[in-house]
Structure formats: structure tokens, C-alpha cells
Amino acid sequence: MPIAKGEDWGWSGLLPDKAPVAATDAEAASMIAQGAAATASPATIGIAGGDMARTLGVRTPYDRATPKYIVPVDALSVELGDGTTHVAMAHVVPGDLRRDRLGFALMNAAFLGSRNIAPRSHPGDGKIDVVRMDLGLSDRLKAWKRMVTGTHVPHPGITIRGRSSGVIELDRPRLVRIDGQPVGRSAQVRFHVIPAAILVAVS
């Protein structure tokens, strides 16, 4: 179940002995896609790196023997215009936020590399943050610099909306990156949140 306002999120525990540890967001998404977490009792994994790890405050190096805090984390199911489906752990970016006049990012994590794209994103609330940027070149470059500290919002040309499902329509097919990995070109990106898709043990 997604976390509700005012409720505690997670509980104390240890990473199970045979549980895998993902070094990247893409590795964690692959574990979900393989079906290990698509059950009524989600699997538990560790994450040692990536944007979701940074969002959750994971310390490195990852020591599986130390006490952890176990948190349920959502995932994102994504369908491109050609009918292919994918699973995302941290984010989906169709096109190029830095260069496109109209840019989008679907954020389950707050961070996209060194940028704090969605400062208020919560990976366990049953929603992802849909970031829409409609900016001219000058404002786009300024916003890109401010994203390092998450101070690009509020801005009249940038909206961030929490959504559990939806569709992004682009002006033309653009390269879509899921958790940093290119998966194809598409002018349409359909998505829906998979609530509490996996349990993550964070240091």
C-alpha cells in the first residue's frame, strides 16, 4: 500500500541473507521486471547506488550486515508507442530536458544524476512527479543550473504534478531513457505506478 500522509514509512530490519543488492537504478528495475517483486509479498533488495539510492539517503559503501530501515518503494510501468513495455525504478525521460523547448521527466526519485529535478518526490506515495518544462533557451539554461540545488521551482514555465497514471504526447518521436538507459524512440509514453513494488533496505 502507498504511504498516506501522517503515516510512518518503513520499519527497522536487516537485508535478508540471499537478497540481491542493485548497484544502479536500472539493475533494481530489472529485478522488479523479472517478477521477483510483482507479488502480494514484495521481495526485499538493497540498493548501493543510483538516483533512487541518493533520494533515499543510502550511504556507501553498502554493508548488508548493518541494521537497515526497510521501505516500500513504488515502481513505474511504461509503454511506448510501439507497444513495448518497460519498468522504471527512478525516472523516465523522453527527449532532452536540457535542450528541448518542451521537456518532460517522470520522476519516482528526486534526482536525475547531479540534478534535483523533483525536490518533493516521494518514492512510496503511489504517485510519480510529472515534470513539464516549457522554457526558452535562456530560462532553460538557468533552470538547468539551478536544478543542482533544486531551486529551479517555483517557476511559471515549470510544472510538477503528482500522477498515478497518464500519457505524455510529444511533437515527434524522441529517444526515451529509463533509469538512464536508452530504450527506443517514441512520440508517446504511457505510464502507471506500481505501488509498493519492492522493499528496499537502506542504511
Q: What is the mean pLDDT of residues 188-198?
A: 96
- Decide: 108 and 91 in contact? Cβ < 8 Å: yes
- Residue 43: CB atoms within 10 A of its CB come to 18
Distance CA 175, CA 163 (A): 22
Q: Does residue 3 register a pLDDT over 70? A: no
Residues 6+ away with beta carbon under 8 Å from 176? 78, 80, 92, 93, 94, 95, 182, 183, 184, 185, 186, 189
pTM score of the predicted model: 0.91
Q: Does residue 140 register a pLDDT over 90? A: no
> What are the extents of the domains in the chain?
11-74+196-202, 77-195
Split at pLDDT 50, 70, 90, the class of 56 is very high
pLDDT given at position 5: 53
Fold observed for domain 77-195: Tumour Suppressor Smad4 (2.60.200)
pLDDT digits (tens, 9 = 90+) for 151-174: 888 888 899 999 999 999 999 999
Q: Does residue 38 register a pLDDT over 50? A: no
